[in-house]
A and B are shown apart, each in its own frame.
Chain A
Amino acid sequence: MVLVLALGDLHIPHRAPDLPAKFKSMLVPGKIQHVICTGNLCIKEVHEYLKTVCPDLHITRGEYDEDSRYPDTKTLTIGQFKLGVCHGHQVIPWGDLDSLAMLQRQLDVDILVTGHTHQFTAYKHEAGVVINPGSATGAFSSITYDVNPSFVLMDIDGLRVVVYVYELIDGEVKVDKIDFKKTTTPTNLPH
């Protein structure tokens, strides 16, 4: 059982002062094995805070990030799953599932984690899953109205991943979960 935290679009300090206190108290160091961050932290302090939650940190670049050395995309393998990360402002139209699916095919990953829209989505299609953890601080977005702070925790176990989404609605943390099973690799089509 491997726990992977996925979050992003915090926009500290431009659009939000800090992570919600209730989230901070849940993100206890030592419990999570990997952290994936879609980008737009934006400052070094947030990077360091995330490092204390878990040292294995993967970040991609958002358009407001202070550190321009974060890569545009990143792929990593956790257990049986290949994960891809990208902030998403590069994929036009923003938030369009088909275009994101194209990126997923390009990176050849089972799970694609992107952000930018500040809205939680988890979409399953033939090649795998596209997850958007939303904005961990509920930051203002020109794309989404009424953003609730949210983040995602993935529990990867063999060929199965359970996606837990945590949302802060009216001061209470609500949890939802979605199950995905990876099918065994399909046979190659003849060229």
Chain B
Amino acid sequence: MSGRARVRARGITRSLGAVDVGRAPASPSATSVEPGDQEASSSSGLVEANIIPQWDKDSVCSGDSGQSHMERSMRMRRDLMDLEISTREKLAHVKDCKTGSSGIPVKLVTNLFNLDFPQDWQLYQYCVTFSPDLASRRLRTALLYNHSELSNRTKAFDGATLFLLQKLDKKVTELSSETQRGETVKITVTLIKELVSSSPVCIQFINIIFRKILKKLSMYQIGRNFYKPSEPVEIPQHKLSLWPGFAISVSPFESRLLFSADVSYKVLRNETVLEFMTDLCFKTGTSCFTQMCEKQLVGLVVLTRYNNRTYRIDDIDWTVKPTFSFQKRDGAEITYVDYYKQQYDITLSDLNQPMLVSLLKRKRNDNSEPQVVHLIPELCFLTGLSGQATSDFQLMKAVAEETRLSPLDRQQRLARLADDIQRNQVARFELENWGLHFGSQMSLTGRIVPPEKILMQDHVCQPASAADWAKDIRTCKVLSAQSLDKWLIFCANRAEYVIESFLSCLRRVGSSMGFNVGYPQIIKVQENPGAFIRAIQQQVNPEVQLVMCILPSNQKNYYDSIKKYLSSDCAVPSQCVLTRTLSKQGMMMSVATKIAMQMNCKLGGELWAVEIPLKSLMVVGIDISKDAFNKDMAVIGFVASVNPRITRWFSRCILQRTTTGIADCLKVFMTGALNKWQKTNHDLPARIVVYRDGVGDGQLRTVMEYEVPQLLSSVTKPSANTSSRLSVVVVRKKCMPRFFTEMSRTVQNPPLGTVVDSEATRPEWYDFYLVSQTASRGTVSPTYYNVIYDDNGLKPDHMQRLTYKLCHLYYNWQGLVSIPAPCLYAHKLTFLVSQSIHKEPSLELANNLFYL
């Protein structure tokens, strides 16, 4: 329906993903003030603490900060947690070698950098206790560092844990110091662990060192990424500025630890909240100013440049002014004006402005009241893009032009970052202190797997470009099509004029692809959702094969109510088109072709196939998303192929009450799909390959231990003496590595079908990267596949090529897509259910791709 959603689903605009776009949606996890951010910023705070004015009416303190810090700093990053799960060792056929062989080798440059350690590099972790206990971390640090045993060593201390590069003489060291007030404090330093460079704690530690280094390079941490406010890119016509920056991480790859960096942008509006308010007041007048202000501002994310933190505006407090005082943590009263003067040397100009209220995330799940922060509008800059802005084509184009970096630009940025890290004195000193050496950019060899042929009904076509074969198959007949005899078109009174030419187009393209489109019955209705629904309720009967609605606007009401009624109350495939789309005369043929293909699929037709050498193979795609209304509901989509040619699909979707993205209902799904397969093929499939999308960081273990057994239990049915063999592949669209090909002194995107299965992979997993999408502008991001369970014992080469073949089978796009087709179908299904239907679609539609 919505073109943008479709493009997004196809994954072509993914290169814009690095930009923080959008007004904060209702879900707190999607804002830039997410718990992860706070975690990242606090663990990086080994050296300094950020203090923000906190003002609590009931002055309920959230407990002593020192203790909470100790707990947090030792918490593991989620993606590192995944690394502890070693799936490869159980897969005998890939234990020694997980690389494929077919295809042309290609030399690739990556965004990964070598990180060299001395041979016997080790880190010593100590626990430090103070007696009597001291609350202030600064005091603890000062006391500890004063001792001669430590003063000339390389060290890091966060208030509780001390890291040293050289071992202390004794396992337990007792120290004693005196504070300025004359108290004697006993310090006990106990060795806990000796860490090698591959241990998770150590990796986290090195990450923190690099975060410190980036700060030294005058970059500021916002969220998880680092930005450089000193080199902004201005887009004056839209009052925007972009801060360039990087997302960095250090993590273990196939043979060693590597540093990876990717370019990221922060979108900021060159407007403070106060300016916005003044402007609004001028426009609306004072009478309804406060209301308008609340309406427009509440929910936006602002950035305070004095500490480069982001907050969401949860409320506006019109009764508090900057001249009011608040209580600091230590209990002293101070006015906001004075506080900003003292703390940041900022003089506020408007002393009558109201205060913005932001609710802080509760860091621990204790029972303290939510902490709120008061922010000064004058110091808050609007960030991100509002919904209004994202629908502004010109604005988005201007932003995309700056942020969609070509591979060459990206490569240059990375080279500059590497250069900065290596040249900057402080950064080098820091690295050398810890015995690290920042090495060169890594290049590796990938393979381009051979292109696939597209099988049509009476024609085998070798597309000129796998990215888009629309032209190549224009004259070919589709594999199978049902004749469409009885169907209805509902359109608004005013839209009548588009129908005649559209219908003749549709019939023409239909007949050329072998899809016989009969004349519909046309019903004109008034222009409101209620009229559409009522007309549909009256006219749709069981003989109707398909309902087409020509909608006057893309108002969500129309689409939602029609889809809701026709997918669950009364199961008939439906096709919605906007009047606007049909009134573009020049585009009519291509629009009609796309619609004809979609309609054919919705009726159960098949468009094309690729050659799959494996006989009796079922492929399955699973995706999970959250319901748009009810965040506690997860929508789980399951799409399985039901014929050996992999052209017909069985789709189911269930809503499940859960807060985690883990599916409960896979057994039901799988059993249903197997029954369906057995009915059509009179046998069970010999092999099943499941592609699971939507697995977040840190969830791998749960998928492995909870979802795989569900699938297994339904596959190994006692009745059948030969059970199907199962493989489960976790698909991830977002991954850190990027690959470029080097061509005559410049770099380009890697060609379609590039597979990387060495060096940038993880040693404990059976994994590979596959580039199956093109980026017309910008840099392509590869898709990451991790085979976590494999009974089939397919050679890695075959697994990779099967995955590549499956990326050709998405019928809503005549070209390759970024993830295997079943996954994208499942995604499309969950998208429809979570956004529009909000309940299970009718089972009668399960055999059609009704959600395309």
A binds B: no
